[in-house]
Amino acid sequence: MEQSVRTVVFVDLTGSTGLFETVGNMVATRVVTRCTQAIGRHFARAGGQVVKYLGDGVLVLFDDTVAAVEACARVKEVLAELDIVELRRVAIEAKTGVERGLIVEHDGDCYGDAVNVAARLSDLAQPGEILVGDSVRACLPEFHRVSCQSLDRIAIKGKSEPMRVWRIDWARTAETTLTAPLEFFELQGEREPTQRIDLDCLDQHLELVPHQGALVIGRGQGVGFAINDQRVSRRHARIEWVSGQCVLTDSSSNGTWVRFAGAPVPVMLRRDSCTLNGEGEIGLGATPDDFTAPTLSFRVINEA
């Protein structure tokens, strides 16, 4: 057995269930296999060691963390370049988890906490997302870290304490390379940051900027954004800017749902947090798909 510190990448394909329903088992199996094999070849070209294929998943080891993250950022392009007719009807996307740590390689497989965490992060990721731990972010150069959005501390199955998790933006990471001119990043640092979130619900409109502190949404007295609905708790949720990221935290009885623009399914929060970015809708006490649900639309402006 061999023990070493490696960067572990776990990629899981989403949408394969719909593919099997649409085109049948035989065709769907061929399509999924072509997708995972293409991803595996892509990682191998980037310096990764493909450990194994797991149905619609791929497990890869890297020595170079930066190479691993940059390769992950281009998986979307790899899938888009595949000339597969069936993918024009059913979209296949990747959910990716990356962690770095001590692992054991044995008999063609690998084991260790970093392997387990990478798999859990892949499970937690939304389609098209890369989630990484602190150990991975710490290995990235500063101009790559600007692509990392903190999701705060998240409970990971099998871990005794919540761990800090970061989301890496596909587009910003894919556009950034190690040879990017230093002057570009210096100029970026000179710009005055513009940060706010716009919230709308019926005739209510509110803008929240970082220095204003936390905004409480609820049905009780003294909240910053009042929603008169029995499904909404008195202090249902709060929105605040934390380390440059806009964070929504649920503290309700019935839960909070976030539907990001373009995402196939909403994210459900129960006494949990997520980072808001882009545009979307927040359902209080019920999913935004329920037309009777009290729903806020949001738009996050986060220009460094």
Domain layout of the chain by residue ranges: 2-183, 194-303
Taking residues 187-195, report their average pLDDT.
55
CATH of domain 194-303: 2.60.200.20
pLDDT value, residue 60: 95
C-alpha to C-alpha distance for 114 and 100, rounded to whole angstroms: 6
Structure confidence at residue 270 as a pLDDT band (50, 70, 90): confident
Q: How many CB atoms lie within 10 A of CB 264?
A: 14
Query: What are the C-alpha distances in Å from 135 to residues 5, 7, 100, 242?
Result: 11, 9, 6, 20
- CATH 3.30.70.1230: does it fit domain 2-183? yes
pLDDT-above-90 percentage for the chain: 39
Q: What is the pTM of this model?
A: 0.56
Name the least confident of 71-75, 82-86, 127-131, 251-255. Answer: 82-86
Is the pLDDT at 296 greater than 90, yes or no? yes
pLDDT averaged over every residue in the chain: 83
pLDDT value, residue 181: 40
Taking residues 214-239, report their average pLDDT.
88
Name the strand (E) or helix (H) holding 4: strand 2-14
